[in-house]
Structure 1
C-alpha cells in the first residue's frame, strides 16, 4: 500500500466517524427526567422517647417527611401536554398510608410552561400539569407528607 492510499483511507474513515457523531448529536427525542429526594424530619421513635408532640395545621403528626422533586425535559424535542395521557397523568404516588400535607412549586425555568399542582380527595397522589416543556426547561417542587419512614414514592 502506498502513502496516498493510506491517507485516502484515513480521511474516509475520519469523514465517516465525523458524520456519525454529528448524526447522533442531531437526533431529536422527547425525554422526561425526574429526580426525587426525601428526608424524614420526625419519626414516631423521636416523639416516643422525648415525650414531644408535633402538630401540622393543628393535627398531630407522628412521621413527618419533606421531599423535593426536579422535573426536566432532557430531550431536544419539546414535550407538550398532548404527549401525556389524560387517563394516567404524571403524578407522585405515595404509599397507601401516606397523607400529603403541603406542596408548592418553588422554581420553574419558564412561567409560560403553566405548571399546576393538585391532589384528589381520597388518593395519595400529587398530580402535575403543564402546557409544554422545551429542552432543558423544568421545575422544582417541594412537598411535606406524613407516612411511615420506609414508605416509597414512585
Structure 2
C-alpha cells in the first residue's frame, strides 16, 4: 500500500510541475526583439585612392555602410502603438560623427502594420512608428549611413508592460525559449522515472525477504526423542 501511495503522489506532483511549466510557456506577454547586421560598403582605404571621390548631396563621405534592421514581436501578446511611450518612442540612433544618408522599408509581414518613418534634422536619428505587431509580426528597414559597424547604430524604445528590447545576434532565429522549455520538461520526466523506478525496486526487494525462523509447534519435542531412544534400546 505504501508503494502505491508513493507512486500516486509522484504522479500528482509531476502533473503539478508540468502544469506550472505549461503556464509559463503559454503565458501571454510582449517580447520586443530586433536583429541587426551591418555591411561596410566603403571605408577610408577606398576613399583615399587618388582620383576617387565619394559624395552625398555634394558632401564628401569617407565611409558608407548598410545596416539591415528587423524589429519583431516574439511574445504572444500584440504590441500596439499606444503601448509605446511618447517620451521614449521607437527610434534608431547613430553615434557621434555619423549620419543616416538614406532608408527604406525592405519587408513587412503584414500591410496592416503600417510602418511610418521620419528622419531628424541632424540625420542622426530615425523615428519609427507602426500600428501593431502580433506574435511573430515583423518589419525590416535598410539604413544607409556613414558608420562602419554595428556599434555605430542602436535601437531605443520603451514599451509598457514589456521587457527591454533584446537583440538577436547574427540574424539567427531565436529558439532559446522553446529549447529550454523542452529540455526542462525532459529533465523533470527523467527524474520522475528514476524516482518511481527506485521506489518500485525497493518495494520488490523488501517483498522477497522472508522470515525463515520455523514455528515453535513444528519442532519435535524432547519427550518424543526420549521415547524413541527407549524403544530402540529395549
TM above 0.5, yes or no, is yes
TM-score (norm 2): 0.61
Q: CA deviation at 1:2?
A: 2.6
What residue is the counterpart of 1:119 in the other structure?
119
Q: In 2, Cα distance between the equivalents of 1:47 and 1:120? A: 27
The number of residue pairs the alignment matches comes to: 153
Unaligned runs of 5+ in 1: none
For 1:39 and 1:19, the matched residues in 2 are separated by: 46
Which residue number in structure 2 is paired with residue 47 of structure 1?
47
Q: How far did 1:57 drift?
A: 5.2
Alignment check: 8 A CA contact 2:101 2:146 kept? yes
How much does 1:95 deviate? 1.2
Q: For residues 50 and 14 of structure 1, do their structure 2 counterparts lie closer, same or farther at Cα, with a shift above 3 Å needed?
A: farther
Partner of 2:80: 80
For 1:51 and 1:35, the matched residues in 2 are separated by 37
More helix by share: 2
- Helix, strand or coil for the counterpart of 2:144? strand
Note the 1:72-111 alignment, pairs <5 A. Answer: 72-111=72-111
SS of alignment partner, residue 85 of structure 2? coil
Q: Which residue matches 1:11? A: 11
Question: TM-score if structure 1 supplies the norm length?
Answer: 0.90
Deviation at 1:78, TM superposition (A): 0.5
- Residue 22 of structure 2 aligns to a residue whose secondary structure is helix
Output one character per residue of 1:70-111: Cα deviation in whole Å (capped at 9) or x when no partner. 100011111111110112211110012111111011110010
